[in-house]
Amino acid sequence: MQPSDLDQRLSRIATLWTVVFRAHEGGADSAQDARNRLMLRYSGAVYRYLLGAVRDPDTAGELCQEFALRFLRGDFRRAAPERGRFRDYVKTALINLVNDHHRAQQARPRHLSSGSGEPAARAELSLPSDEDFVTGWRTELLNQTWAALAEVNPAYHAALLLRIENPDMQSAEMAGRLTEKLGRPMTPENARKALQRAHAKFAELLLDQVAASLAEPTDAQLAEELRALDLLKYCRSALERRRSSEPEA
């Protein structure tokens, strides 16, 4: 699948989930509404996992919608997100969904294989590895952080993206490119400061994204999750700043 095709499918799934979840908002359970919004953030991770499991984009898209409906019905209560990491909840729910899909496929009448009187053998279920799931989850967290940075401060987003795409670019050239991009004058000093602040803001936003996927995490639990997702390298300093700014008990 081409990156553009994946982006289009992810955008379509996020839009459909938004419609479905909004139709269930406004009830008495504000906690459920909050979980709905949290789940929406990870529609991309859900799709990537399902695509790896079924190896077919259309089937993965259909299962994504089934996943959203089951979540709203409360079919995954046993894996309550309040018990710990939200990604563990999502992974358990996805495994259950894929297993149900596989059993349904196994129960269908099998067609005769070409040139043979024997039914065609069914493919064995092969779930994505833990590492694949973590990679997809990490990708979604980073994507969400980039989107949040673009919303909070477009100049920081432009500066940091320009640095990522052009790691050897000098400040003077960066200032010129940012002047064109942002439509306002940028000096080399402005560009350097924007880039420095962009790094710090990106790290803060990433911390917020990871913290939102945990149930009221302690600093130690947040650090552990960042380490497990190989994200600590992006926000070690931000985590230290957050720790030092918290009032003593």
* DSSP calls for 98-142: HHHHHHHHHHSPPPBPTT-SSBPPPPPP-PPPHHHHHHHHHHHHH
Residue 120 has pLDDT above 50, yes or no: no
Q: What are the tens digits of pLDDT across the range 162-206?
A: 999 999 999 999 999 999 999 999 999 999 999 999 999 999 999
Answer with the residue of higher pLDDT: 155 or 12.
Answer: 155
Q: Which residues contact 192 (CB under 8 A, 6 or more apart)?
A: 171
144 with 41, same domain: the answer is no
Is residue 204 within 8 A of residue 228, CB to CB? The reply is no
Q: In this structure, what DSSP letter does residue 248 have?
A: P
Answer with the residue of higher pLDDT: 224 or 118.
Answer: 224
Which of 8-22, 116-130, 145-159, 235-249 has the highest average model confidence (pLDDT)? 145-159
**pTM (2 d.p.):** 0.81
Q: Residue 170's domain spans which residues?
A: 130-245
Report yes or no on 122 lying in a domain: no
144 with 39, same domain: the answer is no
57: confidence class by pLDDT, cuts 50, 70, 90 = very high
166 with 231, same domain: the answer is yes
Which of 56-70, 121-135, 150-164 has the highest average model confidence (pLDDT)? 150-164
pLDDT of residue 79: 53
Q: Which residues contact 118 (CB under 8 A, 6 or more apart)?
A: 112
135 with 100, same domain: the answer is no
39 with 101, same domain: the answer is yes
- Joined tokens for residue 144: 């969400």
213 to each of 15, 88, 222, how far by Cα in Å?
21, 10, 10
pLDDT of residue 28: 54
156 with 238, same domain: the answer is yes
pLDDT of residue 61: 92
Report yes or no on 112 lying in a domain: no
Residue 124 has pLDDT above 80, yes or no: no
154 with 228, same domain: the answer is yes
138 to each of 101, 127, 186, how far by Cα in Å?
26, 18, 33
93 with 142, same domain: the answer is no
7 with 82, same domain: the answer is yes
Is residue 221 within 8 A of residue 161, CB to CB? The reply is no
Q: How far apart are CA 101 and CA 229, in angstroms?
A: 28
Q: How far apart are CA 23 and CA 18, in angstroms?
A: 9
Answer with the residue of higher pLDDT: 45 or 4.
Answer: 45
Q: What are the tens digits of pLDDT across the range 10-49?
A: 888 888 888 777 766 655 566 677 777 778 888 899 999 9
Report yes or no on 177 lying in a domain: yes
Q: Which of 107, 122, 145 is the last residue of a domain?
A: 107
Q: What are the tens digits of pLDDT across the range 63-117?
A: 999 998 888 887 766 655 555 678 888 898 899 899 999 898 888 776 545 555 5
Report yes or no on 114 lying in a domain: no
141 with 240, same domain: the answer is yes
Report yes or no on 36 lying in a domain: yes
pLDDT of residue 26: 57
How many domains does the chain divide into?
A: 2
Backbone angles phi, psi at 112, to 5 degrees: -70, 135
Report yes or no on 220 lying in a domain: yes
Report yes or no on 163 lying in a domain: yes
206-234 average pLDDT score: 91
Report yes or no on 121 lying in a domain: no
